[in-house]
Amino acid sequence: MSFSIKTALITATSALVLAGTPAFAQSEASTAPTPWNEDYEPPRLSDGTPSFEGVWSQGSLTVLERSPQFKGLTLSPERAAAIEQGREKAMEASNQPTDPDEGAPEAGGDAGGYNTFWMDPGTRFGVIDGEIRTSWIVEPSDGQIPYTEAGREESVIARTAARENFDDPEIRMAGERCTVGFGSTGTPPMLNVLYNNHLQFFQAPDVVSILVEMNHNARMVRIGGEHESSILHRWLGDSVGHWDDDTLVVETTNFHPQNSARAALRHYVYLQPDSVVEERFTRVADDVIHYEFTVTDPDLFTQPWKGEMPLWRAEGPIYEYACHEGNYALPGIMAGARRKEAEAASSASEQPSAGN
C-alpha cells in the first residue's frame, strides 16, 4: 500500500492510544523489569576506564516529551505490554503488500514516501533502573521542554523558516540537507527517531568517538580538553569530556547555527549555538548504558531540562547511511518551488488589470 511517513507516524501513534484498552491489557501477563545491579562491574580498557566499545541502539517507543495520554513518568508493565502489542499489530497491518489494482494516486495528491518496511523506531518502551518510562525528559516533571515565551517564539520562527522558506538551500533543515541526521540524532542531546537508531563507541585514553548511524556522523570527545574558540561552530558541537569515577561526563557547546532547528516526526528541539548540553554515560549492565543529558540556555528555557534513556546493546556492524549533501532531493525541492513561483506569476499576468 502507498504509505507516507506521516501516515506511518499516525498509524504508530494510533496504536499507542488504542492499546490502552483492557482487552489488550489482558492478552498477556507481563513481568516487571529488573532494577540495575548497584554492584555491577563494567568491562575495562587497559587504562582502567569502563569500556563502551561496540554497537548500541536507542530504538524505543518512548520519546523526548510526554504524550498527553500519559499522566506520569512511568507505566505499569501490563499497560506497556498492551501498547507494545497494539503497535505491533498496527505495524503488521500497515505493512501488507500493495494492491496491484490500486492504481496511481490522484494528480496533485500525496504519492507517499517510505512505507512501513523502512520504519524501525523500536518495539518497546525505555526502561530506567526497572521503571518503564513514558518520556525521556524527567525534569521538569511534566515531561515537556520548558521554553520561555521568547524562546518558544524563536523556536517557532526558526522551524517555520526551515519548512516554508525555499529561497536558499542553506535555510532548509540540516537533516533535510543530509549534513547531519534529522531530529538531533548525533548532536547532543542524542535522540531516537523513526529509523537508523544505532551508534558505536570507539575509545582511546585521550578521545572517545561516537559514530551515529543517522547520518553517519562521528563526534569526537576530547578527554581533558578545553573548548575551542566560540567562533568555531561544529555541526555536532564542540565536545570535551572527563571521567567522574566510572561515568563519562561530556560538555558540548558551539553548535553550528544551521543546526539549531532539529525536527523529527516525534519531537522538535531548538537550541542556539551557545546552548550547553552536559551528557553522562554510565555502563550499568553488560547490555545497557545509562545515558543522561542536561540542556542549559537561560535565553531559551525557564530552567535547565534533564532527560535519561537506556542505550541497549545491539548486533553490529553499522552500515553506512549514504545520505549526502547535494543529493537529488534538495535540487528537486528548489526546482519545485521555482516552478510554483513561475506558475503563480504566469497566472497573475493573465488576470485582467483593475482598470479594465
Q: What is the pLDDT of residue 45?
A: 97
Please say if the pLDDT value at position 19 is more than 50.
no
- How remote is the C-alpha of 313 from its chain's centroid? 18
Spatial distance between the Cα atoms of 41 and 174, rounded to a whole number of angstroms: 40
d(CA 108, CA 321): 30
135 vs 108, higher pLDDT: 135
The β-bridge partners of 276 are 296
pLDDT for residue 281 is more than 80 = yes
pLDDT tens track for 240-267? 999 999 999 999 999 999 999 999 989 9
Domain ranges (residues) in the chain? 5-37+50-100+110-313
Which residues make Cβ contacts (< 8 Å) with residue 327, sequence separation at least 6? 178
pLDDT at 13: 46
Looking at 66-70, 132-136, 180-184, 274-278, which range is the least confident one?
180-184
| Lookup result for grid cell 501513534 | 13
* Region 39-53 average pLDDT: 97
Q: Rounded CA gap, 21 and 243, in Å? A: 46
CA atoms within 13 A on the CB side of 114: 11
Res 31: pLDDT:
82
Q: Give me the pLDDT at residue 352, please.
A: 73
Q: What value does the mean pLDDT of the chain take? A: 88
**Grid cell digits, residue 39:** 554492584
Cell of 287: 547490555
* Residue-wise pLDDT tens digits, 157-200: 999 988 889 998 888 888 888 889 889 999 999 999 999 999 99
pLDDT value at residue 355: 58
Which of 4-33 are b and which e, b meaning 16 or more Cβ less than 10 Å from the residue's Cβ? ebebbbebbbebbebbeeeebbeeeebeeb
> What span, in angstroms and rounded, lies between the C-alpha atoms of 114 and 169?
23
pLDDT for residue 356 is more than 70: no
